Amino acid sequence: MDFNQLQTFLRVSEYGSFTRAGEQSFISGTAVMKQINRLEAELNLKLFVRTATGVQLTPQGKKFQPYVQQLLDLLNTAIEETRRVRSDDKQLILLGTSLLHPADAFMSLWKELAPKMPKF
């Protein structure tokens, strides 16, 4: 079981559909279904009832959901609180790209900014 599976579990339970949960995660509905199938197999629990119109939480899924929400909330709080106690004064900038959106725009911007920030 991993962090992504738990996030996916919450999205599926919120949207009632693998496809809609996938759209929110920018992955396919099939990928969402595979994550849920893997989670259910690892836990040896049936978390969702699948129907032609979507999915619904089973009683086990309903019992599991608030614990997953609490766990992910606690993890996010721990990460935020830990970041606040940084002992350095460096500022962090995170940038992301994908195969669909290459980093060309970032690289041209970096070439322009790098001479102005020699210690970076």
pLDDT digits 0-9 by tens, 41-89: 999 999 999 999 999 999 999 999 999 999 999 999 999 888 888 766 6
16 contacts 54 by C-beta, under 8 angstroms: yes
C-beta neighbour count of 22 within 10 angstroms: 21
Q: Does residue 113 surpass a pLDDT of 70?
A: yes
Nearest to 15 by CA among 73, 4, 7: 7
pLDDT of residue 110: 79
Task: Name the residue with higher pLDDT: 99 or 8.
Answer: 8
Which domains does the chain show, CATH number per domain?
3-84 (1.10.10.10)
53 contacts 16 by C-beta, under 8 angstroms: no
Eight-state DSSP code of residue 90: -
Region 33-44: mean pLDDT is 97
Q: Does residue 29 surpass a pLDDT of 90?
A: yes
Q: For Cα atoms 43, 21, 16, give the angle at the middle one, nearest 5 degrees.
A: 75
- pTM for the predicted model, two decimal places: 0.70
Eight-state DSSP code of residue 116: G
pLDDT of residue 89: 62
Token pair listed for 68: 């997953």
The greatest distance separating any two alpha carbons of the chain, rounded to the nearest whole angstrom, comes to 60
